[in-house]
Every structure is written in C-alpha cells, then in structure tokens.
Structure 1
Amino acid sequence: MTTTISPIASDAIDAPTAAADSSAAPAGVAHPKAIRSYVIRAGRVTTGQAKALETLGPRFVLDYAAQPFDAVAAFGRTAPLILEIGFGMGDATAHIASVRPEDNFLCCEVHEPGVGALLKRVGEQNIENIRILQHDAVEVIDHMLPEGSLDGVHIFFPDPWHKKRHNKRRLIQAPLVAKLAARLKPGGYIHCATDWEPYAEQILEVLSADPHLVNTAPAYAPQPAYRPLTKFENRGLRLGHGVWDLVFRRR
C-alpha cells in the first residue's frame, strides 16, 4: 500500500470531500495553521486505474499553473463551467457530466485512485466534458479562477469533521464561500450535499450569511435531478439516515 495525498470523505468509495480552509488551531488542538482541501491517507491504485491514468491522463488531467484558467483551450469549446471540489471515486461526477453534456466540468481531486477511477469511467462512457486538476482546490480557486468565471460549484459530501473541536477544519466556512461567490457569474450556483445534519445546519448558516448569495429554497433544497444517489446514500437511507442538499445562487 502506498501513501498518497487525498481528501477524506464520509464514504471512501462514493463520496467526495475536502477539509477546511481555516486559520490558527485553538489551544490544545494539533493541526496545521493553514488547512488545505485535503488530508493525507493511504490509497492503492488498481491495475485498471493505473491504465486509465497512463492512457487518458495526458488528455483529461491538466497541469496546475498559477495563472488564469483558459477553459476554451482546455475543453476545446465555449460552455458553462462548473467547478467540483473533491469527487471521491467519481461515480456522481461521471453521471452528472453524462446527463449535462452542454456543460464543462473542472474537477479537483488529489487522491490518485479516485482520479484513476474517474478516468476509467470517462473512457468507458466516452465522456468528453470533464477535465481534472489533481491539485488542492483552494489553490486552484485562488490562483486559476478569476472572479466571474464560474457558472456553478459542486461540493458533495465533504468531510464533516464530527468532533466539535475539529469543526474548524470543515471546508465550507465563510472565507471560502466568499471566494466562491466572487467567482460565480450572476445567476451562478453553489450546490452542496451532506449526510451529517449538524454540518448541513452550518452550511445553511454560512451560505445564508453571504450577501452575494440567495437560497433557492426556504431552507434545504430538493435533490436536483442531475445528482444521483450513491451506494453510500442508498445504504444510509435504508438505515433511516438523512441527506441534505443546499442550492444557493449568486445575486
């Protein structure tokens, strides 16, 4: 087993994730002052994933560069651009890209087995509208995505950091939301989903507090038709667990 840089998800197979973009640790809590959109965990690349990385990686995996992202050059066309932060093993990402062929999907994930798994699906399903950045999403937002460059953002099942003392590590907090809101075009959206109710409550509070965003629902949104149920969700629903979707738009 090798060690790779990767996000931690609420389900290692089906759900994407990310950690928080935060500041100094509280007294007695040992974690870095600057939290990236991932943490380190072990991962193993299968033979099929390795083949996909070798054969499809040069076409679909982009190099990180601290300069404005040229979407037309990367995708070979002009189309709405959707950023996905953390896609896990890529099941939902591949499905959404397939049912929304009119959109371009820029997907950030540092977990190499996950990148390989999504590339494998891209090849099997002949998906053309996905590009992958195997890099920290926070740096991509800061250095590659100018204001007003995005039509949407997807953040599905980020790590909930269940323990209260670790809540500061959560990805969806006011500073990051402000960055994302600034990069949305008018009418662009942020779609978050979580299976942890306290995190859903925090996400609702943070998104509602941003002056540039407006909720599309009275509180939580119905699950949009394009987002599929993952194996993890189906298992949770059978056990009576909830899933909360939130969809906010740029004013």
Structure 2
Amino acid sequence: MDRPARIPSFVQHRNRLTEGQQRAWDEWWSVYGGDVADAVRAGTFDAAATFGRTAPLILEIGSGSGESTAAMAAAEPGVNLLAVEVYEPGLARLIMLMRADGTENLRMLRGDAVELLEHVVAPGSLDGVRVYFPDPWPKRRHHKRRLVQPEFAALVASRLAPGATLHLATDWEEYAEQMREVCDAEPLLHRAPGTGADGWYPRPDFRPLTKFEQRAKVEGRVVHDLIYVR
C-alpha cells in the first residue's frame, strides 16, 4: 500500500534577485551551490568532495536570508556547514556574505531538505541538524504543513550520529510546545544536558541574534530553544 503524499512545509514562490544577488548567483552558485533534486537523482551526497575536506557535517534546514548561517560558518571553521533553502534571494545573499567574510566551510543546496534526508543523507552521518524559525503555519488547518512532526523527528534522529544534536528555535509559543512534545516522544532523542526543567534550553551564544529575533522580542514574542542529543 502506497503511503500518502507528504505535504511540503514550504510554498515555492517565484523569486526576483537584486542586481547584486544575480551577479553573485551567476558567478558563484556553481561553486558553492547545487540542487537537492540533482543529489536525489544521483542518490548520494559526498560531503568530503563537496567541501574539499573531511570535517564534522552540520545541516541547517532553512537558512532564510543567510545572516545567521554566514555568522555561524565564520565562527565554526572546523565544521562543514550545509545550508538547505528554497528561497533563492536568501541563497544569493548568503553567497554574498560568505564571499565578503572569506568563508570556505559553507555549501548550499536549493530544495526540500526532507527529500535530501530521505533519499541522500546516510544514516548516522550528520554531526548536527539546525532548524531555526521554521514557518509556524499558525492557522490550525495548516498545522499539517509544519516541518517538525513525528515523522520528521524520526528521520532526523536516524541521520544523526550518536552524540550528535538536533537544535530547534522558534518564536511561536504553540509551535515550540509542539516541537518539544514531538521530540520528547522520539525514542532516539534525549534532552541535552543543561535543558531546564520546563524543557527549554537556555539561548546558546553560538546562535547569532538576528534582526528577525530582535523584532520578535520587541513585539513581545518569546524565543524558545530546544536541543536534543542522539
């Protein structure tokens, strides 16, 4: 019996690049970027070949406009950071930021990160997965579109190496509670040491404070972090 089609957690819009973004895309995308669909067709992702070295591999799902991702890559030269995003202007902006910083430990894939995890990423091969401020899909009828569901937690857990971490952050209270419930119920995941009795992890210094998060605080929305260990 075929399983029902998965509902994607994102909506693909037509994207218009600025002149600078287009220039960066044309010059550097083939060097630093690729498509999830191509990786799925190939059936493999060779991290050592992609990054030109062997190092701990961190997957960020949804790099957005790129500021946080670029800052983390620059601050963590010892890791390979793979950003997966569907928003082309954000990817182009990320190229511009990494070129400005001289960062070499960052690569990008355009497309659906769940497809990548399902079909390409080998079990036990990731040293970390980061999901910061995913679309909360606030209307109840759209909750099924949310990324963090039991199936997602199980998939991520299977791709993490023992001792690797899943780090989630959101400023949407009800979604944060759903994330906590989902991850608490996944047998392969356990709350990281340092997690509070309420299940929230204190905001770590390594997660950059973005304009988005600053705006959330101004508007009275509390940001919750969750870190789980495989």
Structure 1: gaps of 5 or more residues: 1-22, 25-32
2:218 is the counterpart of 1:238: yes
Deviation string 1:38-58 (CA, Å, 9 cap, x unpaired) is 212343201111111111111
Cα distance, 1:203 vs structure 2: 0.1
Once residues 34 and 88 of structure 2 are traced to their aligned partners in structure 1, the CA distance between those partners, rounded to angstroms, is 14
**Structure 1 residue 238: Cα displacement:** 2.3
1: distance between equivalents of 2:101 and 2:212?
A: 22
Q: Which residue of 2 aligns with 1:18?
A: none
Question: Quick check: 1:213 aligned with 2:189?
Answer: yes
Alignment-derived partner of residue 14 in structure 1:
none
CA distance in 2, matches of 1:225, 1:55: 33
1:195-248 residue CA offsets vs partner (Å, 9 max, x unmatched) = 000000000000000000001113110111111111121122123221001000
Q: Which of 59, 71, 77 does residue 31 from structure 2 map onto?
A: 59
TM-score, scaled relative to structure 2: 0.92
**Counterparts of residues 136-175 of structure 1 (less than 5 Å):** 136-175=112-151
Summarize deviations over 1:162-190 as a string: whole Å, max 9, x none. 11121111000000110100000000000
Structure 2 match to 1:94: 70
**Higher RCO structure (Cα 8 Å, ≥6 apart):** 1
Residue 71 of structure 1 aligns with which residue? Answer: 47
Structure 2 residue runs without a partner (length 5+)? none
CA distance in 1, matches of 2:73, 2:110: 18
Decide whether the 8 Å contact of 2:67 with 2:94 is kept in 1: yes
Residue deviations 1:112-131, cap 9 Å, x none?
11110101111111110111
Of residues 225, 245, 248 in structure 1, which corresponds to 2:205?
A: 225
2:22 is matched with which residue? 50
Report if the CA contact (8 A) 1:87-1:107 is conserved. Answer: yes
Q: List structure 1 segments (4+ residues) > 4 angstroms apart after TM superposition.
A: none
Instruction: Give the letter aligned to residue 181 of structure 1.
Output: A
> In the aligned structure 1, how far is the partner of 2:184 from the partner of 2:224?
15
Partner SS state of residue 13, structure 2: strand
User: For each residue in 1:134-193, what CA deviation from the matched residue of structure 2 results, as whole angstroms up to 9, or x when unmatched?
Assistant: 121111111110100100001010111111121111000000110100000000000010
Q: Secondary structure at the match of 1:178?
A: helix
Same amino acid, percent of matched pairs? 47
1:37–1:137 Cα contact (<8 Å) kept: no
Structure richer in helix, relative to its length: 2
State the distance in 2 between where 1:223 and 1:43 align: 32
In the comparison of the two structures, how many residue pairs are matched? 220
* Aligned 1:78-89 pairs, distance under 5 A: 78-89=54-65
TM-score, with structure 1 as normaliser: 0.84
Indicate conservation of the 8 Å contact 1:56/1:123, yes or no: no
